[in-house]
Amino acid sequence: MPKIVTLPGDGIGPEVTAAAVEVLREVAPDLTFEEHAIGGAAYDAHGDPFPQRTRDALEHADAVLLGTVGGAQNSPWNSLPRPMRPESGLLALRKALGCYANLRPVRVQPGLEHLSPLKPELARGVDILIVRELLGGVYFDGDRKIDGDTAYNTMRYTTPEVERVAKMAFWAAEQRKGRVTSVDKANVLEVSELWRRDVQALRDREYRSIHLNHEYVDSVAMLIVSDPSRYDVIVTENLFGDILSDLAAVIPGSLGLMPSASLGDGAGLFEPIHGSAPDIAGKGIANPAAAIMSAAMLLRHGLGRSDAANQIERAVALALREEPTRDLGGQADTKTFTNAVLEAMGTPVG
Ligand code: NAD
Ligand code: IPM
Ligand code: MN
């Protein structure tokens, strides 16, 4: 009986996580669930955005399903010392699980091109996997400070950090079209110079069947929306990957369609890429598709159950056709959409 630790978090996190759990219970009745606190809700309840009891629960987890963390711009959480803020809880969670590679698929399913603001001929068939480095760069470097009118953060990467995430990207590309684009800013940054050198050297040493190219992040920000079909797997450092993946959400049509799997040393962490959406939290109208598709990634990557994962993804595509949510220009609220997914799971294939 695999144990799933759920961490609903803040804002719409509990709403979309509940939907994902409902779907998981349906396709995998043997799973057990244990809910724990993370983020602002955890700070309010336990004085810590990543409390010890949550940390302890991870020891026996087979996989972790996360909602979202964080408050609105004016939330009192944003005035706390940085380590006490909701976002720090999430970063500490990723670190504790050793999840150094964040897989963020960007897919336009057949028949869902109309949900994209792009011209249908541009959106059709898009299938990109963004592999975002998740434990390094400016997010984690201890060399950081704000002092009066001066502040700095440090972007630092080591060869082993670059190689482990690049391996994940090459491995993923081997199961796909065999193409990897490594994204950097090597025309300006030393850290990108090292990144580019190490990714290329690894390809030349161990992955000669992979077609690897290198592109600058500013150019990719334009090309990913104007010509998305040129990409198969994209691998990039933490901050670039964060920004490019929200941008890439434009292709399927909403942040609510962007799931992710964070993989590494131990149990995987499965999380939608969107935030806590304070503007719509508590209204029951959040699109739970990203959370539900993250649950599918949990089954595939966390538990090795690809059939169940495929079943969920197929049902989500059907539900998006029948009952699109408001962020996609439709009418469905969270419950209506989730019910449509549950119903579609009972529909025979074909
Ligand atoms: P956001 O992703 O929460 O919201 C951006 C916009 O997208 C909003 O208009 C929101 O309503 C909409 N949106 C996002 N997810 C949606 C969904 N599932 N269905 C329908 N609409 C959706 O980004 P933000 O407003 O910049 O950040 C809000 C808070 O979330 C901040 O505290 C931020 O730090 C945090 N955040 C957390 C995560 C995470 O937990 N992984 C990710 C990003 C941001
Ligand atoms: C994400 C979020 C987080 C990140 C924040 C909330 C720490 O934006 O998961 O994309 O930047 O990684
Ligand atoms: Mn983000």
- Please write the tens of the pLDDT for every residue from 185-244: 999 999 999 999 999 999 999 999 999 999 999 999 999 999 999 999 999 999 999 999
pLDDT of res. 7: 99
pLDDT at 300 over 80: yes
- Mean pLDDT score of the chain: 98
Alpha carbon distance 253, 251 (integer Å): 5
CA 304 remoteness from chain centre: 19
Task: Report residues whose beta carbon is within 6 angstroms of any ligand 1 atom.
Answer: 12, 16, 68-71, 87, 90, 255-256, 271, 274-280, 286-287, 290, 327
Residue 164 annotated as part of some ligand binding site? no
Q: Does 237 sit in the ligand 2 pocket, CB within 6 Å?
A: no
CA of 242 from ligand 2 middle (Å) equals 7
Measured at the CA of 274, the angle between CA 18 and CA 313, to 5 degrees, comes to: 60
pLDDT at 34 over 60: yes
* Residue 67: closest CA among 6, 4, 8: 8
What the chain holds in terms of domains, given with CATH numbers, is 1-98+265-350 (3.40.718.10), 106-254 (3.40.718.10)
Q: Which ligand is nearest to the CA of 12?
A: 1
pLDDT of res. 348: 65
Neighbouring C-beta atoms of residue 1, cutoff 10 Å: 6
Q: Given the structure tokens 């009952």, which residue do they identify?
A: 323
CA of 105 from ligand 3 middle (Å) equals 14
Atom of ligand 2 nearest to the CA of 70: 6
> What is the residue with the minimal CA distance to atom 3 of ligand 2?
87
How much is the average pLDDT of 308-335? 98
How much is the average pLDDT of 145-157? 98
pLDDT of res. 346: 86
139 is catalytic: yes
Give the DSSP H or E segment for 3: strand 3-9
Atom of ligand 2 nearest to the CA of 90: 7
253 vs 347, more confident: 253
Catalytic residue among 184, 198, 242, 333: 242
- Please write the tens of the pLDDT for every residue from 281-296: 999 999 999 999 999 9
Q: Which ligand is nearest to the CA of 239?
A: 2
